[in-house]
Amino acid sequence: MREISVLCYDAEYRKYCSELLTIFYLVTNIEFVEASTEFADKDFLHVTKGTDLVEMRYTKDGQTHIFLFKDKDIEKDRIKTIKKIIFQFLNSIQQLDLPWGFLSGVRPVKMAVNLFLKGCTRQEAYRVFVNDYLVSPKKADLLLDLAQMDLQLTGKSRVISDSVSLYISIPFCPNRCTYCSFTSYPFDKNKDLIPVYIDCLIKELAHIQRSIQEKNQTVQSVYIGGGTPGVLPLSLLDKLLSAVDHLCTDQTREVTFEAGRPEVFDDDKQKCVKNHYVTRICINPQSMDDEILRNIGRRHTVKDIVQCFDNAVKNGFDNINTDMIVGLPGETPDQFKKNLGLLLDLGQQSVTVHTLAMKKKAVLMQNHNAQDIVNNK
């Protein structure tokens, strides 16, 4: 896989380049440099923003291509328009068939849902994807079909301002998984901080409650995620969930508690969660293979997952989600299939499958080359 160096002093254009280049290069193969350093075995992109014109010099496989455009007058849909220009220039050289156009770092179905909720017709939404983001007609149709299904299933309508959804973050974990790029602090090192954090959260929830009452809104759903919310000590868990209970009404459709890792979600905590307004829990194995779990820095085993799950069923939870990651280091497609089968044997109500995202902040990426992970080296 080729690497690229990028020289660009303008912050706005650096951002566009870092987003768009991930369509053509692995994120770990993109390096921003501070001076012109052309290498024979690397591609090079030099973007210069003048008062009127932007010049792009793209050296690929030893050949330099130059493109100039006027960005001063681009005001309407500025970000989208400039990204489209840069993408078209890069792909005029790369010549790749990219059915998703330059959509990157977004959830396209969510975009489509939002367009519908804003009142766009299907034809108008289709034009946004095909003309503005250069998505292929086939993919645009797929997106719009999924968005319409999403709206039907969730019962959302255009008028949703009378309800809100809340996300509550518990950014503490027993330790850091090697692939993790989220905000997460080790539980042991922050023991003193956690009660203070929960008190602040509860104060914030009280403010939110006042605000939504003033606006005559109701809470439609709550998601308590992380981090690993299941790591909270019993008394703090009870305190937080009691505050969440106060926010819920008979209009509240779902309250999810993401317990996270099985080894921390013991019987007492499960019983505590069951005593509150929680309607759905998540137990996240990520893999059903002990060696892979060790490789990614998890401290639990497959046995812990099964025990935790069975106990949750005994405690009366009837809406359990389990998370799994596809593409973890050391896992072949056949192993993944086997692990997925083992996971489904649990009989949960839903499974969320994530693809491994190779983010620079993750320990895994600091110790490995992205391509080696892809090749299971």
Q: Report how many residues bind ligand SF4 under the rule CB under 6 A.
A: 10
Taking CA atoms, 53 is separated from 58, 85, 291, in Å, by 16, 13, 55
Interface pick for ligand SF4 out of 182, 212, 321, 351 (rule CB under 6 A): 182
For ligand SF4, the closer CB: 173 or 201 = 173
Regarding 6 and contact with ligand SF4 (CB under 6 A), the answer is no
For ligand SF4, the closer CB: 74 or 370 = 370
Regarding 223 and contact with ligand SF4 (CB under 6 A), the answer is no
Which of 81, 14, 74, 84 shows the shortest CA–CA distance to 49? 14
The SS3 of residue 229 is helix
* Pairing status of strand 42-49 against strand 53-60: antiparallel
Pattern 245-264, ligand SF4, x by CB under 6 A: ---------------x----
Angle between helices 78-94 and 11-21 (to 10 degrees): 50
- Token pair for 191: 């023991």
Regarding 227 and contact with ligand SF4 (CB under 6 A), the answer is yes
Regarding 226 and contact with ligand SF4 (CB under 6 A), the answer is yes
CB 357 → ligand SF4: shortest distance, Å?
A: 10
Pattern 15-54, ligand SF4, x by CB under 6 A: ----------------------------------------
Distance CA 22, CA 45 (A): 13
Interface pick for ligand SF4 out of 156, 176, 359, 368 (rule CB under 6 A): 176
For ligand SF4, the closer CB: 142 or 225 = 225
* Pairing status of strand 172-173 against strand 185-186: parallel
CB 234 → ligand SF4: shortest distance, Å?
A: 20
* Pairing status of strand 350-355 against strand 320-326: parallel
The stretch among 106-114, 132-140, 226-234, 351-359 that binds ligand SF4 (CB under 6 A) is 226-234
- Residue whose pair of structure tokens reads 């024979």 in the numeric block: 40
Regarding 125 and contact with ligand SF4 (CB under 6 A), the answer is no
- Token pair for 32: 């921003």
- Token pair for 87: 């993408």
Core vs surface per residue 105-121: b (16+ CB within 10 A) or e? eeebbebbbebbeeebe
Interface pick for ligand SF4 out of 228, 256, 270, 339 (rule CB under 6 A): 228
Q: Do 289 and 302 form a contact (C-beta atoms < 8 A)?
A: yes
For ligand SF4, the closer CB: 215 or 299 = 299
CB 180 → ligand SF4: shortest distance, Å?
A: 3
Distance CA 173, CA 190 (A): 10
Regarding 270 and contact with ligand SF4 (CB under 6 A), the answer is no
Interface pick for ligand SF4 out of 180, 224, 281, 343 (rule CB under 6 A): 180
Number of neighbouring beta carbons within 10 Å of residue 244: 22
- Token pair for 222: 């709550």
The residues of the shown chain that bind ligand SF4, judged by CB under 6 A, are 173, 176-177, 180, 182, 184, 226-228, 260
